[in-house]
Amino acid sequence: MLQWLLVAVAVLLGFLGIGFFAVRSWRRTDLETKSLIKRITRLPFGRKIRLALALVRDGRLPLRARLIPPGLVLYLAMPIDIIPDFIPVLGYMDDVIVMIIGVRFLLRLTPRPVLEEHLQWLEVV
């Protein structure tokens, strides 16, 4: 019992550290990137899926950037998680943190003009 408690505390501290890193990096983000993130979050869910598909299909992006959206979908769809989902709060925290980190990498690897082009097209449609 004590071993499980120590493991749970260690995992919780690890995720708190990653969450702190995510919040800290958000504060350092320039205003242009924050405005892009806000524009993406305002899109309806279906258009966010279209944006992800358009970015995956766009040959102007590096291969590793095009692999991020399918990788996130696969991770979230996998029945095996870092922390099982039946554990309250912690079970879903790993999914949220992986999603935040994946989106941050995708934004860093995607050229701004390409992302702007896709966003403008989806905001008009």
| Residue-wise pLDDT tens digits, 77-101 | 887 777 777 777 777 777 888 888 8
Specify the pTM.
0.67
Which burial class, exposed, middle or buried, applies to 44 when counting CB atoms under 10 A from its CB (0-12, 13-18, 19+)?
Answer: exposed
What does each C-alpha distance from 106 to 55, 86, 94, 103, 112 come to in angstroms?
A: 9, 29, 18, 5, 11
| Residue-wise pLDDT tens digits, 5-46 | 666 666 666 666 666 666 666 566 677 777 888 888 888 988
- CA 22, CA 49: separation in Å to the nearest integer? 23
Residue 65 has pLDDT above 80, yes or no: yes
Q: What is the pLDDT of residue 105?
A: 86
